[in-house]
Structure 1
């Protein structure tokens, strides 16, 4: 379950991982193969939507940012769209990500310096639990303790697991490489530095109160149990169930980032889901005014749940058509 929470966050905000470097959990090669092997006895058919008017076509494709080598996700229909599209639009392109984050670092550093450590705001009992929680992730405690609350919690969600997944095999990396080789432009739908700054500047007091409550209830066995006490450790194809469902074209009615129903979960949902999907729907409506054919490839979670980008398009009177 811990890796599944991490993958969900990656599906919505992979660029946040560039803000800090965390060690991967170690595992011998034999155990890794046995634990994370997968099979695909189906032909991939991920979901595709289309927005169009008389001179503009926008194909929308939900992605997974990190995948294991050999995981199949392309369909003939999707490949035809890649050939047709004149421009690829992703959340934040590789070319833009570092400059966008670097631009907000001075403001981020000022906020971080002025807020003090997380542990200093916790009760004495939970100061030790907080240290134990961070240590289960393998991250340096002092570094994480000085982060803004939401960034620190992202550090646990984004702790790498040696399951064979890599950005190298993720959808955006593959598509950006293909469009670059074809001489076609790649654009960003948002400035992720702005999103990251929203994460950093979220009011601290309610987040600390929620963290205090979660630490009090935490069983202390592993990091995943902090927000979800019913965690398990799936293996094989069960471990890859989210990826398999996506590759089959399944779209869930609900989407949960895995941070509970308190202030932390509400903040992540608002910043990473609601605000972005609302802004993207506005961007899509404006982009329809420009002639041409584009492929929008963003995290699959943005097309799921009651606050999906599809819902905000409906609110604007321009519902998307699912074509695959």
Structure 2
């Protein structure tokens, strides 16, 4: 595959493997509904000239190629778990999916033993405290909404706007409801709405489950980065990349839940190699600095923090998006390259 950004993968993966919008999507990203017949009044001669866009079949073919490669490998039959330890510290690392179907059973005895032994739960960002959830909503809204009076429907080309309108028709939501949003926010919001309508629920995501259990157990909490940092990853994308992200997310929206089901299958099987192909692959997430920003740079930032945890005695359970623990530049690979013995696949 060519080394360029593939927005269709981000559409299904971003809400599943990043924290922010899947966590606050229920209330803070959903646009208000209105007359379903009210499509954007801004279509016409004043819309920007359309970029050259791929058609839907190209997008699906590309995904199917990656899926076929992912399915050539298999895992242990349950989500992967890793352990790093020294004389007085044990660090368990577990890859999460932030939005899941409520009926999915993913916990194992091995997982429960590791989690129950931990004194501290470390997450990507603060999704536990009221202050953290407030900051998450504020940061994503501040960075995901236009601050200069622009409107999405007047910024998009007629091609991109038509794709958005078609994606929203089954939901009964007019494209003008997305007008306050920058294209990246509209793309991820669209994905969240579709996944939720198809039975996925952020409240069933791994983090929400672990936070509730950790509170009950009296564990302390730690965080590797901020919601503002996560929002910046998308907010600093070039406008044309954001627009392509929105276009391809809209075009492949009917298939997005099936895609996520297949990604979750790889995760639930513990197929770290297959998950890397689908989610954390430089060939499908590269170009325009996307792969570096989503995975390489963040993983590099996290490794020193994990190393520092070895200086404090006790047991820590780290739960981060599964894509960070898979692929050629995973946290696990980086730790092993530093000479650490990390137990696990």
TM-score exceeds 0.5:
yes
Structure 1 counterpart of 2:270, from 249, 271, 281: 249
Structure 1 counterpart of 2:207, from 168, 172, 185: 172
Question: What is the Cα-based RMSD across aligned positions, in Å?
Answer: 3.8
Distance 1:72 1:158, change over 3 A: same
Ranges in structure 1 where 5+ consecutive residues have no aligned partner: 25-41
Q: What residue number does 1:150 align with? A: 184
Which whole-Å CA distance do the structure 1 matches of 2:117 and 2:83 have between them? 13
Distance 1:46 1:205, change over 3 A: closer
Q: What residue number does 1:286 align with? A: 308
Query: In terms of mean alpha carbon deviation, does 54-63 or 281-290 score higher?
Result: 281-290
Which whole-Å CA distance do the structure 2 matches of 1:61 and 1:105 have between them? 25
Q: 1:91 aligned to 2:91?
A: no
Distance 1:20 1:262, change over 3 A: same
Which whole-Å CA distance do the structure 2 matches of 1:48 and 1:134 have between them? 37
Structure 2 counterpart of 1:69, from 81, 87, 102: 102
CA offset at residue 297 of structure 1?
1.0
Q: 1:101 aligned to 2:123?
A: no
Structure 2 counterpart of 1:52, from 85, 93, 112: 85
CA offset at residue 85 of structure 1?
0.8
Which whole-Å CA distance do the structure 1 matches of 2:267 and 2:160 have between them? 39
Distance 1:84 1:195, change over 3 A: same
Ranges in structure 2 where 5+ consecutive residues have no aligned partner: 1-6, 34-74
Distance 1:321 1:200, change over 3 A: same
Q: What residue number does 1:223 align with? A: 250
Q: Is 2:18–2:98's contact at 8 Å kept on the other side of the alignment?
A: no
Q: What residue number does 1:28 align with? A: none
Paired residue secondary structure (1:180): helix
Structure 2 counterpart of 1:188, from 218, 223, 242: 223
Paired residue secondary structure (1:113): coil
Which whole-Å CA distance do the structure 2 matches of 1:85 and 1:173 have between them? 17
Paired residue secondary structure (1:89): strand
CA offset at residue 101 of structure 1?
2.4
Which whole-Å CA distance do the structure 2 matches of 1:163 and 1:323 have between them? 33
Q: Is 2:9–2:284's contact at 8 Å kept on the other side of the alignment?
A: no
Distance 1:5 1:108, change over 3 A: closer
Q: Deviations over 1:15-67 (max 9, x none)?
A: 2242412589xxxxxxxxxxxxxxxxx99532111122222211101112222
Q: 1:9 aligned to 2:31?
A: no
Query: In terms of mean alpha carbon deviation, does 44-53 or 296-305 score higher?
Result: 44-53
Q: 1:304 aligned to 2:331?
A: no
Which whole-Å CA distance do the structure 1 matches of 2:285 and 2:214 have between them? 41
Which whole-Å CA distance do the structure 1 matches of 2:239 and 2:16 have between them? 25
Paired residue secondary structure (2:18): helix
Structure 1 counterpart of 2:239, from 204, 211, 223: 204
Which whole-Å CA distance do the structure 2 matches of 1:307 and 1:137 have between them? 39
Paired residue secondary structure (2:98): coil
Distance 1:188 1:137, change over 3 A: farther
Paired residue secondary structure (1:179): helix
